[in-house]
Amino acid sequence: MMTFRGQTSTHFPHPVHRVESMEILKDHAGSADVRRALLDAVTHDDNAGVRMMALEGLKRFSAEPDVQKTLTQVLLRDENPALRIQAIDLLNAHQDDSMVGVLQNVVQKENNGYVRSRCEQMLKEMNASIGTF
C-alpha cells in the first residue's frame, strides 16, 4: 500500500490512477518524501505497471543505499520479469561486492534467461564465482 502525504493507495484504488500518480511523482524524486513514496510503491503496490513507473522515477538514485536495497528485493522477489530486468540493469550500473551472494542466488533460481545471464556477467566482472559453495 502506498502512502503519500498521509493518503494510502486505498484513496487511489484504480491502478490507472496510481500509475498516473507515479508518472507525476517520478519527475520529483529529488525530494526525500517523494523518493520514499516511490520506494514504497515498488515494494508494496500489487500492480506491475505502478511498480515499473516507480522504478523509472528511482533510476537517477540507483546508487543510493535505500534504492539499492529495494532493487535487490525486486530482483529476488518480484514475480514480474520486466521488473527484475529493470532492477538488474539498474544494479549493474553500480556494482558492489556486497551483491555477490545475491547475484549467485539469482543465478541458481532465476528462470528468466536475460536476468540470469546479466547476473552471471556481473559476477564475472567482479571476479566472483557463479555458483555458491
DSSP for residue 131: S
Give the pLDDT confidence of 60-100 residue by residue, as tens digits. Answer: 999 999 999 999 999 999 999 999 999 999 999 888 888 89
Mean pLDDT in residue range 46-51:
92
Q: How far apart are CA 65 and CA 70, in angstroms?
A: 9
The CA R_g of the chain, rounded to the nearest whole Å, is: 15
The grid coordinates of residue 47 equal: 500492480
